[in-house]
Amino acid sequence: MNTAVPLLQEPPARCTPVAPPDVAITDRIHVVRGHKVMLDRDLAVLYGVEVRVLKQAVRRNMERFPEDFMFELTLEEAEASRSQVVILKQGQNIKYRPFAFSEHGILMLANVLRSERAIATSIHIIRVFNRMREALLQQQDILARLEALRQRADGHDVDIAAILRALRQLTERPAPARKAIGFKPGRA
């Protein structure tokens, strides 16, 4: 008699996208017009889509991307960004000017693209931006404390020199009085 228990089959596991490492994100953050942004070509790589597809999605949903979320680089800015990451051969022109996305624009872009990878990557990028902001705030706090210490210590140099002079005077032993050698008249 065969009393084997049939094996239960588990449903196939859903593949969850893996977020890129922090370095892959921080290396792609640029400062343009005084704002920390990521360029469309870098986001396309992270999201796993073509730059063309990303730009089409943005252009179809321009109302979701105000100027503080996304802006198009000028030709000069595009040339400067190209010199950092060489894509075109020297002497060739940039065909399309890149889009630059702020932190909020990156989050909106994930909503426009609607892929699991884009959403997971976008969340990870926002967390990296937050960690960078926290590190900057901590650094500013440390710099403020160091400045306060420097201001307090500025007048101490003179005080410390005076204390050291007084200590030297206290530690120097006075020379013992020497007895006069030789004949002293009037003593018997």
Domain annotation covers residue 118: yes
Q: Is the pLDDT of residue 18 over 90?
A: no
**Has this prediction a pTM greater than 0.85?**
no
> How many percent of the chain have pLDDT more than 70?
80
Which two three-digit tokens encode residue 31?
């400062």
Whether residue 61 lies inside any domain: the answer is: yes
Q: List Cβ neighbours of 63 (8 Å cut-off, separation of 6 or more).
A: none
Report whether pLDDT(164) > 90: no
Identify the CATH number of the domain in which residue 67 sits: 3.10.260
| In a domain? residue 14 | no
Whether residue 144 is predicted with pLDDT greater than 80 in this model: the reply is yes
Asked if the structure places residue 180 within a domain, the reply is no
CB pairs under 8 A, 24+ apart, for 83-89? 84/30, 85/41, 87/41
Q: Is the pLDDT of residue 10 over 70?
A: no
Residue 39 pairs in a beta bridge with 100
Q: Which of 67-71, 72-76, 114-118, 172-176 has the highest mean pLDDT?
A: 67-71
Residue-wise pLDDT for 121-136, tens only, equals 888 888 888 888 888 8
Q: Is there a domain that residue 7 lies in?
A: no
Q: Which of 42-51, 84-93, 161-170 is the most confident on average?
A: 42-51
Q: Which helix (H) or strand (E) holds 39?
A: strand 35-39
Model confidence at 188, in pLDDT bands (50, 70, 90)? low
112 located within any domain: yes
Q: How many domains does the chain have?
A: 1
Q: Which domain holds residue 91?
A: 22-142
